[in-house]
């Protein structure tokens, strides 16, 4: 099976994509129901001005973090897991790959259930049948790699934006105008620090995998712009959709709002495309992760991962979300170590594999552990503290 995903080698110049194609893929990643729900939570806890400040600040932090990883990925043509060969070591990279790959498979299964359960309630169709059909279809499209992700996103991203905007317009009309909507009283006041942390935490786990996608960029500057568009603009739009729906109807998810508005089929389309694009990105990334560990082709592994996630979808949905959230908390320090290593030793990245590869780079694991502790102990924004803690520790260990 031809490795169209370049899972074990840098992406060649001939396979690089346009900024428009990469933007579609990355927007497809960030257009996800979970961000809408988070937006609804923020909308219930903040004033209108506080909401936009929290969303702008949080997604700007996300944009900067992913842009740095995207720059490195585009400059080297390497996936997150091949970049980890330099910072964590050849065998040391297996742990980050296991964490990243495992969480993406889990979230794929959760996503399939997130689609099937509400659609079943709205239509009366059998939930198990919907899981089997939707999971199989989502798995099938990842077979085509970046080409499949691009084609799907080119259709899904405009559809989600248009249908979501139309639903929000109806919600504003129902509320009696934009002013009436923005004057909704906060029912669950939330500290700004918590709000920004919620925005950053909504996508920093998947954002750590940014290099997997924008390594196809034709130049690093393009990759930086694409990341800022996807995370600062795209993720912010999802938060706005969620907040508007929550203010008008009490429901955070646009698909639920549409159901309440009597737009059942647009709701099914939005929910399906919303989850499909993010799920395919998750499968694609999980294949690259396990390919780094096993040496097997990532395309075949992505398909196996999709079938496994589909089979376990309901179990994952009911039993595994807490565990996935716990695992996701360990991922931001991985990105911090990768960024720090590149900043300190970027000349080594001009050749892959490295001239002096090591099996395990101990300072990377120490930095990762310290970053994890910083995230949970220091005051402030948990994922940001985790990234900065890992970066600072790694720099100190290498410079001593």
11 found inside a domain: no
Structurally, how many domains does the chain consist of?
A: 1
CB 72 within 8 A of CB 344: no
CB 299 within 8 A of CB 145: yes
Q: What is the pLDDT of residue 70?
A: 95
Q: What is the pLDDT of residue 270?
A: 78
178 found inside a domain: yes
Per residue in 296-341, pLDDT (tens digit) is 999 999 999 999 999 999 998 888 766 656 666 778 999 999 999 9
What does pTM read for this prediction? 0.89
5 found inside a domain: no
217 found inside a domain: yes
Q: What is the pLDDT of residue 77?
A: 94
113 found inside a domain: yes
Residue 188 sits at φ, ψ, to 5 deg, of -135, 80
- Judge residue 399's burial from the number of C-beta atoms within 10 Å of its C-beta, 0-12 exposed, 13-18 middle, 19 or more buried: exposed
6 found inside a domain: no
Half-sphere exposure at residue 341, Cβ-oriented, CA atoms within 13 angstroms: 25
Residues in the chain, pLDDT under 70? 1-3, 175, 178, 180-188, 251-255, 321-328, 354, 400
Closest C-alpha to 50, from 192, 246, 182? 192
Angle between helices 80-87 and 94-123 (to 10 degrees): 150
Q: What is the pLDDT of residue 92?
A: 95
241 found inside a domain: yes
Structural domain range at position 56: 19-399
Tokens of 52: 């936009």
232 found inside a domain: yes
In sign, the C-alpha dihedral spanning 133, 131, 114, 142 is negative
Secondary structure (DSSP) of 138-191: HHHHHTTHHHHHHHHHHHHHHHHHHHHHHHHHHHHHHHTSHHHHHTPPPSS---
End-to-end CA distance of the chain: 46
Q: What is the CATH number of the domain that holds 190?
A: 1.10.4160.10
Per residue in 293-308, pLDDT (tens digit) is 999 999 999 999 999 9
Burial 191-200 (b: 16+ CB within 10 A, else e): eeeebbbbbb
Residues 6+ apart with CB under 8 A from 48: 182, 183
Closest C-alpha to 69, from 206, 224, 197? 224
């Amino acid at each position: 099976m031809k490795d169209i995903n370049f899972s074990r080698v840098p992406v060649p110049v001939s396979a690089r994509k346009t900024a428009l194609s990469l933007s579609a893929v990355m927007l497809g990643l960030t257009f996800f129901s979970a961000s809408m729900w988070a937006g609804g939570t923020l909308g219930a806890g903040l004033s209108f001005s506080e909401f936009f400040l929290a969303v702008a600040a949080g997604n700007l932090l996300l944009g900067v973090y992913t842009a740095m990883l995207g720059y490195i990925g585009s400059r080297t043509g390497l996936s997150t897991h091949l970049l980890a060969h330099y910072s964590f070591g050849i065998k040391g990279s297996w742990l980050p790959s296991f964490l990243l790959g495992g969480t993406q498979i889990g979230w794929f299964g959760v996503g399939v259930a997130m689609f099937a359960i509400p659609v079943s309630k709205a239509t009366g169709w059998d939930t198990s049948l919907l899981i089997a059909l939707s999971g199989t279809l989502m798995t099938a499209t990842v077979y085509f790699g970046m080409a499949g992700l691009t084609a799907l996103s080119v259709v899904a991203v405009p559809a989600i934006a248009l249908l979501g905007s139309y639903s929000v317009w109806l919600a504003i009309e129902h509320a009696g105008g934009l002013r009436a909507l923005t004057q909704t009283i906060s029912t669950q006041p939330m500290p700004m620090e918590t709000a920004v942390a919620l925005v950053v935490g909504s996508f920093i786990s998947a954002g750590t995998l940014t290099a997997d996608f924008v390594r196809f960029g034709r130049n690093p500057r393009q990759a930086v712009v694409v990341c800022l568009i996807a995370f600062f603009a795209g993720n912010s739009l999802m938060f706005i959709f969620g907040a508007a729906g929550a203010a008008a109807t009490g429901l955070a998810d646009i698909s639920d709002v549409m159901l309440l508005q009597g737009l059942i089929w647009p709701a099914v389309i939005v929910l399906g495309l919303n989850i499909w694009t993010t799920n395919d990105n998750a499968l694609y990334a999980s294949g690259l992760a396990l390919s780094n560990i096993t040496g097997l082709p990532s395309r075949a592994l992505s398909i196996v991962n999709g079938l496994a996630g589909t089979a376990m979808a309901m179990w994952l949905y009911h039993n595994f979300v807490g565990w996935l959230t716990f695992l996701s908390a360990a991922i931001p320090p991985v990105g911090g170590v990768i960024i720090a290593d590149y900043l300190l030793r970027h000349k080594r990245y001009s050749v892959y594999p490295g001239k002096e590869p090591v099996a395990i780079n101990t300072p990377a694991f120490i930095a990762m552990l310290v970053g994890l502790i910083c995230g949970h102990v220091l005051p402030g924004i948990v994922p940001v503290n985790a990234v900065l803690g890992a970066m600072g520790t790694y720099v100190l260990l290498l410079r001593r």
